[in-house]
Amino acid sequence: MNKSKSAHILAISILLTMICAVSAVSGDGSVSQDELTRIDTINTAIRANGSNWVAGTTSVSGLSIEEKRRLCSARITPVPENLTVMCPPVGAGVSYGTFDWRNKDGKNWMTPVRNQGSCGSCWAFGVIGAVEAMIDIDAGDPTKDVDLSEQCLVSDCCNAGSCGGGYPTGALAYIRDHGVPNETCFSYRARNSACTPCDDWAEHVWKIEDFAYIDSTTDAYKWALHEYGPMVVVLKVPDDWFYYTGGIYEPTVSFSDGVGWANHCVVLVGYNDAEDCWIIKNSWGKYWGENGYARVRYGNLEQYNYGYAVINTTCPGAPVILVDPAEVNATVPIDGNGSMNLTVTNNGDDLLTYSMIDDEGWLIESPTNGTVEPGSLANITVTYDATGLSAGSHSANITITDDDHETLRIPVHLTVTPKVISTDSTGMEKNGYLLGDDVYVKVYGLIPDTQYRIYIQPDPVNEGDTLINTPLDFYGVESVISSPTGQIANTLIWQSVLNSPWNEKWDIVLDNCAAGTAGTYDIAYDGLGRFETLASDITPPVVSSVSLNKTEVTAGDSILVTCNAADDDEVSSVAADGVELVRSGDVWSGIIIAAAGGTHVVNVSAIDASGNAGWNNSTSYTVIDTVIGDTVSIGSATGSKGSVVTVQIGLAHAENITGVSPTITYNPSVVQVLNMSVNTSVVTMDMQGTPNIDNTAGMARMSLTSAGITVAGTTPIVDVTFHLADNNGLSTDLKFVNTAMMLSDTDFNAFAPAIIEDGSITILMKGDFNGNDVIDIGDVAEIANLQSGNLATTSENLVVGDFNNNGLIDVYDVAKLADYQLGNIGEL
């Protein structure tokens, strides 16, 4: 065997050993005698303890004590102040049996198992794992599987921690307040780094609405898994945790020269009552435990008082669906009903197809589905019917889903009030009462076995007025009696209380001494010695024929709003966007001021004499942007030393452009321009003369003309080819010379673009993955991790390690870097 062939085989052997030991891939890699001894000791203790799990070689069992200790670096703090503490409602049932978000409704809602590598970032992976799962759940799409950036949390972007450990609650708060981009925007490096996400990171940010602490009991954790989704939890683990290969884990062995007890952050995804265990997702790759998951005996999570649920996720950018109002609050009497309008606006660029459902039978939406053109809106009528509902508060959610499975939840809060009338001694309603009559008060819709108090008082209550008779306490009872007017929860007799010196309106006041809803209900004095019950007016006024004197405006314009408002009683006031309108007969009108930017729905509301409100959200206006939006941009690129890269100059949001004259500057010691050419495959433009390229001064210029081009989105019009210097780690900005970056229109008027976006070029060293300017064993380990799929491959990785230029990090690339690091070949 010749020397070259022997050296190549040696390189491949070293590579395979590294993939087994460093890349967390089990196989035929060697296992030390110390590791075998520890595995045997743990399994002996497991059998002696009567436990039901198995220790063996894993992706982390062969690491040093210090490396193992670093992997478990979650830092625990008390529950943050002002954070919601959640526990199951009194009487809430807890589902027993088996529950697993990997098989909820026959679908796997969890994202793939990740590998944190040698970085102490379990706190980041535990939080990201829970948030990623909640994105799938909120979207109703188990295949969405957004891959979020753990590196954003580990880097200087976030102050919750680093590779030396961190705070899960700090990471949750950061995602709530700032959000994190996806993995391709800021790829994982398994080391501390500066805050260097992609240039357009703000367009890729996912957020959570909030997070909540879950009371540390087994039932509370089970309830939260059903109610909210996968949770962020922490458990303390000894040395044997690193050797777990399957079964129901219970802490068994802690070596005197080992890790001790370390805090480790994981994702709680389910439970199994038959096996008395939790199901958790770890972040040590799929070659640890049961394909990256573990079953943990009940009690080993709850004892650390550290469980947090994620509340609602928010997708990047402006939502395609915008619903107004975002929350519904309404009040109706027992057995009453009401309605209001929801406005669905399409903020996207494509036709929106939507559908909506609710989770309570007392809500009705009409229509329940439809389509909305870009920039347009649709009106949905929401009706709430309190028939059969008890007095008190009721909550529901309306869920709106678009054709991309993005969802939006609209909370609905309905308050149902008791109803009070007064009758004569026969139990029938009367038109009025003579002074001295007995008053029989019937109270509708009381909560069973709840204490109330009732009394009569003058309305308004003037100084010196007193209550009539002593307030009477009573209890709502479950049994009811029938009457022509409905169901009566209780009947009270108030004798001879109407011999009063006041010729004025009276109230029956119902207080709840323990729970429920208090209310004040009218009895009116008619001035003729009689008191009459007032019919309960629950019908809202109707607002119609809303019109605007103009629907296309600029910000700050005055808009005349005109509408009609009618009611079975009397309309008291009408307002448009909070501005009170003036009445002339049944017509109301007034001036509102146009808001800034976009399409705006005019909210017209009317209130009647009984306080009922009606809405009309059917009319809108559009604010026209008067600023020319022409944008000229130059892209960015990365490349290895001595290579050739191409960046493109783009034109966006331009109309009838007849000329473009871009002049760019750069650092000539970093890059040299080889050529500038028209991108004729995309746009038809003629180059005037030849490009003026001055690589000494670092400036390049060309002039283009056309018959008049119009572009909507960004269109690449010029390709600029650069040769990169033979030095690593250099970079240069690519900037336009503003005075020379001119456009011209069909009237040959020259003007500068409204927006100018610069770019940059960075030179990377072939094979130097960890950025220390040398090819070392760490680089070979990282390329092995990339090839095996334990780390995500980025465009920067391909520049550094795709030696055969096939767009992949493959076995050839790994072998070549290993050969170079061993000195078997002289260049990459």
336, 418 Cβ separation under 8 angstroms? no
Strand pairing partners for 482? 487
Burial group, residue 375, by CB count within 10 angstroms (0-12, 13-18, 19+)? middle
User: E-assigned strands of 26-137?
Assistant: 52-55, 85-86, 98-100
Task: Using alpha carbons only, give the angle 290, 292, 296 rounded to the nearest 5 degrees.
Answer: 60
Task: Using alpha carbons only, give the angle 612, 616, 619 rounded to the nearest 5 degrees.
Answer: 165
Q: Is the dihedral of CA 260, 265, 266, 267 positive or negative?
A: positive
User: E-assigned strands of 438-501?
Assistant: 439-444, 451-459, 468-475, 481-483, 486-488, 490-494
Rounded to whole angstroms, how far apart are CA atoms 735 and 635? 10
Locate 359 and state its tokens: 């989770």
- The bridge status of strand 439-444 relative to strand 433-434 is unpaired
Task: Give backbone dihedrals phi and psi of 788, rounded to 5 degrees, phi first.
Answer: -85, -5
Rounded to whole angstroms, how far apart are CA atoms 186 and 151? 6
Locate 795 and state its tokens: 């465009």
Number of CB atoms found within 10 A of residue 456's CB: 22
576, 547 Cβ separation under 8 angstroms? no
User: E-assigned strands of 386-504?
Assistant: 392-402, 407-417, 419-423, 433-434, 439-444, 451-459, 468-475, 481-483, 486-488, 490-494
Task: Using alpha carbons only, give the angle 206, 211, 213 rounded to the nearest 5 degrees.
Answer: 155
38, 255 Cβ separation under 8 angstroms? yes
- The bridge status of strand 613-623 relative to strand 552-553 is parallel
531 to each of 65, 227, 488, how far by Cα in Å? Answer: 87, 51, 22
Residue 546: closest CA among 635, 618, 643, 633: 618
Residue 671: closest CA among 724, 719, 721: 724
72 to each of 26, 154, 243, how far by Cα in Å? Answer: 21, 14, 14
Rounded to whole angstroms, how far apart are CA atoms 131 and 134? 5
Catalytic residue among 282, 341, 346, 617: 282
Strand pairing partners for 392? 416
Residue 658: closest CA among 634, 630, 700: 630
Locate 553 and state its tokens: 């405006």
Percentages helix, strand, coil for the chain, rounded to the nearest 5?
15, 40, 45
Catalytic residue among 204, 264, 394, 600: 264
How many Cα atoms sit within 13 Å of 756 on the Cβ side? 17
Task: Give backbone dihedrals phi and psi of 53, rounded to 5 degrees, phi first.
Answer: -150, 170
Helix residue ranges, H only, 289-439 = none
Q: Is 169 helix (H, G, I), strand (E, B) or coil?
A: helix
282 catalytic, yes or no? yes
- Rounded to a whole number of angstroms, the distance between the first and last alpha carbons of the chain is 25
Burial group, residue 396, by CB count within 10 angstroms (0-12, 13-18, 19+)? middle
Rounded to whole angstroms, how far apart are CA atoms 188 and 568? 65
401 to each of 310, 344, 410, how far by Cα in Å? Answer: 20, 11, 11
Locate 165 and state its tokens: 């450990």
Rounded to whole angstroms, how far apart are CA atoms 655 and 657? 6
Residues marked active site are found at 122, 264, 282
